Structure 1
Amino acid sequence: MSDEERRDSLADQAAAWVPPWNRPRPPAPPPADQEDLGNERPPEGPDSSKISLAGEAADAADRAGGGRAGDDGTPGDEAEKPGQGERGSAGGSGTAGERKQRAPRRRAAPAPPPAPELDDAELRGALEAILLVVDEPVSELTLAQVLEQSPERIGPLLDDIAAGYTAAGHGFELRRAAGGWRLYTRPEYATYVERFVLDGQSVRLTQAALETLAVVAYRQPVTRSRISAIRGVNCDGVLRTLVSRGLVEECGVEPDSGAFLYRTTTMFLEKLGLNSVDELPPLAPFLPDDVEELADATR
C-alpha cells in the first residue's frame, strides 16, 4: 500500500470514528433461556475494521477519563455515590444484600396456655390438703393463686366444706379467722386436746398481762407510756412478756414523741377466734358508772 492510500485510509478511519457519548448503548443481554438461540456473531463487513479501531480508541479515552460519559455529553461519575447501589426498587425495599444483613426479627414468645379448670371434687381435695398443712390462716386470694383458679370459686367452696364438717360432726372444723381460713378443733373437745398438748402443765397470763393486753387491743396503736398511764402502774415488764408470747408487736413510731407503738398480732386474733379487732366486744357494759368522775380525777 502506497503512502497516499495509507493517508486516505487513516482519514477515512478518523472520519468514521464516533465519540463515546454519541455511540448507542449496547442491547440488553437476552434471558438465560434464550442465550443459546442468539449466539450468532455480527457479520464482518468492509467497515468492521473501522468500527474495531473506533471502539479501541473509545475504550482508551474512557480509561484515561476515569469513567464513561452519559448520553447527554456530561462526564460520568468516577465512583458510585454512597447509598446509590443500595436503593431499592420503586416500592422502597432494599437490595438483596441489604436484606441479608438485616437482623432477623424476634418473634414474641407464645403466651402460656391457661391452667385447666379443676372440677369441684378435685378442687375440694386440693383445698383440704393445703388447709391441713398451713401454720396460719390463709386467705382466699392466696389459695386461688396457688391453685390457679378463679377466686370466685374458692369462697363458696370453703363455706360448703365448713358446713360439711359441721354436719358430719367431725372433731375439727373449718373456720374463718384473722382474715383467712384454717382448721381448728371443736370447743367441745378442748379438754381432751389440752390434756394431750399440755400434759398437766398450764401456762396462763397473769392479771396484769391480761389488763395490758386489753389496753393494747382497744387502744391500738398505743405507746408504752400511754398504757402505763391508763393502768396507773409501770407496764414495761408485762409488755415485754406479751411481745415474747407473740400476742403484741411493734408497729412503728409516734411522730410527735418518737416512742414505739404497739398493736395486737394475728396470733391474738387466732387465740380469741376473731377475724379482726372490729369483732371485739364493746367496753361500755364493763365500765363502772362513775367512769367519767374517775377520768376527771386522774387529770
Structure 2
Amino acid sequence: MSDEERRDSLADQAAAWVPPWERRPEPPADAAAEPVIEDLGEKRPLEGPEASTISTESASERPSGDAGEPVAPSGEAGESVAPSGEAGESAEGGEAARVPDRAPRPRRRVPAPPEPAPVLDDAELRGALEAILLVADEPVAEATLADVLEQPAERIAAMLAEIAAGYTAAGHGFELRRAAGGWRLYTRQEYAGYVERFVLDGQSVRLTQAALETLAVVAYKQPVTRSRISAIRGVNCDGVIRTLVSRGLVEECGTETESGAHLYRTTSLFLEKLGLDSVADLPPLAPFLPDDVEDLADASR
C-alpha cells in the first residue's frame, strides 16, 4: 500500500471513528433480532423497519481500521478531542450542555446554648424566698418566684414547703401558708388577740398638745391655710398637719384664690369622735379668748 493510499485510509477511519462515550452498547447475541435504544434511561425493543435501519447505522459507525494501527478521533484528521471529563467542549467540537453545579446546602443556624441558671445553695435560696415573701402584700405564685430567682419551679415548691414546716416546728408567731394560688406570711391564729390589741391601741393613741391646738384652730377657722395656722400658734405646724391628715381628722379642701396655698378643714371622723352633727355645734370660743385677740392676729400677719 502506497503512502497516499495509507493516508486516505487513515482519513476514512478517523471520519468514521466514534468516541467510546458516544457509542451505543452492542446487543447480546440472542437479542440481535431486537435492537434496543435508550430513551431517557428506559430501554425498549424496536420493531419493523426502525430496527433494521438502526442496526445498519450501528454497523457502519464501528471503526474498520487495521489491527495495531491507531485510530484518530472523529472530526478532521490529526485533531485531538478533549476527554469527556472536561466541561465546555464536546468530542465533535461543539459546546456541550454544562452541568449545573450543585447548589450549596444552606447552613443550619445552631441556636446559642441557654445561659446556665445561677447556682444557689439551699441556704441562699431560703434567704431569698424569705426576703421576697416578707415584702409581698399578696400571695406570690411559685412560677413568679421561679422566674425571679431563675430556679426550677419544682425546687421552689419543695423549698417553700420546707420553710413552712420549719416555721411550724419552731413555734414562730407567724406561718408560711399557701393561699389564692400563691404563698404568703400570716400571723398564727392563736396570737390573733395580741395582734388585735396592738392594732386597736395604735389607733386610739392620744393626740399631743400641739396636735390638739392645731386641730382646734382648723375647726374654728376652717377653711384655713397652714401659714395662717402657724401665725395663730406662733410656730411651724407642717409636721402637725401631716399627722392630723394621716389620722383622718383633717383633709385638704381646695386652694386659696390669692396665694394658691392649700386649704384644710376637719373631716366627718372628727365630728364622729366629738359626737357632733356639724361644726356649727362646736362650743363658742369667745369666752376662752383674750379681749385683744384680734389685735394679736393682725399684728402677726
TM range (shorter): 0.3 to 0.5
- The TM-score normalised by the length of structure 1 is 0.32
- The TM-score normalised by the length of structure 2 is 0.32
